[in-house]
Structure 1
């Protein structure tokens, strides 16, 4: 909702035009990586692959490595060492801010579980980069949840009670809205983004006061980098158009944003 950038330091500024994307800076400290005395230090996320549209690369498409292939809870992931693993990875799991039910919150995979998921998919990732990749994974999901709560605040009085009932990863399926923006980028490449989202999740949110469940669609994009080259990710979070109330909220939000943009570009009248 809105056109804003949020970074781990909380600095906000305008970034993307003509979209309702929420852009979030990569939480990896690139300045410290550049100043490191170790020549091999680098961001573990392959940002070139995120921006590349070439299909000739042997690398798999960027997406969450944890297999959310079914609409249910977090899959069971092994905490044991993977074959040929050299480094010891932490097995502690970080608790999210996302309510699972009235008495507990969702937990993110541990670095060891995350690495096991990568190995299971056949992705080659240096073990020393896994903990940073987990931080990025968790950061993006926390930002997505904050966007969900903004939508929920439009409908219910106390969105802090909202729960994430279940979720599903759908990286190979492009949402209708993403297809629309791809078409717009093809017609007007200088004005709109021409890259597809690199991942997609569907989150089903439960409103405890009514028991109602609402499905949200989240498209994950790579956005234009910062001037210093630091990468930025964008999240397009919105309720799915599968209920009358969600359609109404989407229309109302789009109307409000269009009106606000029109008011900001109005030419002041002369006295």
Structure 2
């Protein structure tokens, strides 16, 4: 029985000794916690955030938006004078597929009066068309084309020049044919001018425009007078007559009309002379006149152009 007691107390004493005994000083639990050392200054977390540097002045975001450049002063939109006043209202009488049947008012809102050139004459024997045809001729300082006169306008113009109607003179259909011949002659004249202007395509790639024109029916050009004179000078020598016949195979009478057309060749004014000679009327295309179109000899450039064309005609 004493043996059993000694065997029980021994482990108890050992356990108490284990509880009361302090751990050795080298144990980690007896060591003081090391002081917290801040990270070195060069550590990214201690660096101040970099100051925001604005982009350089030449950067697109710092440049003011460019001012909208206005068109140059020579542009058509800066021109004060758009051309003849009657042409501004001309499109009111131009027939088109959508507006040809619409009734147009003759009242001008600016003065509440009808335009005189479209008003029938008091003694007019029949009604005339007031529709105006648009040409292919570009009008200077405008995006529009020149517009031809109507039958009524043409009638009134003849009255202003002293013509008076008689029963055996003209009928309504005659006026329609006259307008078609008039418009065809002008289109033909413009095509002849474009042939001359083709020599200056590099100088004026956009092509010429017609600024103004005028009639000079009795002011015959020197060329027309010379042709007429050479065809009517009497020579008694048969040899001279034969040489003149060879030189002037086409003998002209004086032209029945003359026009001077002033065109704009990209900023430069050029004058053309157009002589109208009687010819056989073509009822299919309404060509009636033989036209002699050439630049007026009023500049060295025009003289040179005529010399070149003369050489081409003789050498071709």
Shorter-chain TM-score range: 0.5 to 0.7
CA RMSD after TM alignment: 2.5
Alignment of 1:216 onto 2:272: yes
SS at match of 1:186: coil
The equivalent of 1:169 in structure 2 is 215
Report the counterpart of residue 35 of structure 1 in structure 2: none
State the shift of 1:85 in Å. 1.2
TM-score scaled by length of structure 2: 0.54
Per the alignment, residue 117 of structure 1 pairs with 157
User: CA–CA distance in 2 between the matches of 1:132 and 1:74?
Assistant: 27
Q: Report if aligned partners of 2:181, 2:288 keep a CA contact under 8 Å in 1.
A: no
Aligned residues: 184
Q: What is the TM-score of this pair, normalised by structure 1?
A: 0.62
Unaligned runs of 5+ in 1: 1-71, 261-271
Counterpart pick for 1:134 among 173, 179, 184: 179
Q: 1:137-152 alignment to 2 at 5 Å?
A: 137-152=182-197
Alpha-carbon deviation of 1:191? Answer: 3.2
Contact 2:185/2:287 (<8 A) preserved: no
Give, in whole Å, the separation in 2 of the partners of 1:74 and 1:183.
Answer: 41
> Residue 100 of structure 1: which of 139, 142, 149 is its match?
139
Residue 219 of structure 1, CA deviation: 0.2
Question: 1:10-89 maps to which residues of 2 (within 5 A)?
Answer: 73=84, 78-89=117-128
1:193–1:107 Cα change, 3 Å? same
1:29-73 deviation digits (Å, cap 9, x = unpaired)? xxxxxxxxxxxxxxxxxxxxxxxxxxxxxxxxxxxxxxxxxxx84
Cα drift, residue 84 of structure 1:
1.1
1:184 is matched with 230
Deviates more, 1:248-257 or 1:187-196: 187-196
Deviation at 1:231, TM superposition (A): 8.2
- What is the SS of the residue equivalent to 2:153? helix
Name the residue aligned to 1:62.
none
Q: Compute the displacement of 1:137 (Å).
A: 0.4
Query: Post-superposition shift, 1:192?
Result: 3.4
Shift of 1:86: 2.6
CA contact (8 A) 1:181 1:192 kept: no
**Secondary structure of 1:238's partner?**
strand
Unaligned runs of 5+ in 2: 1-82, 87-114, 234-243
Q: Pairwise mapping of residues 245-256 of structure 1 onto structure 2 (< 5 A)?
A: 245-256=301-312
Query: Which of the pair is proportionally richer in strand?
Result: 1
Contact residue 91 and residue 112 of structure 1 kept, 8 A: yes
Go from structure 1 to structure 2 and tell me whether the alpha carbon gap of 1:163 and 1:231 turns closer, same or farther (over 3 Å shift). Answer: closer
Residues 145-195 of structure 1: CA deviation (Å, up to 9, x unaligned) = 000000000112466631000011000101011011112212457833241
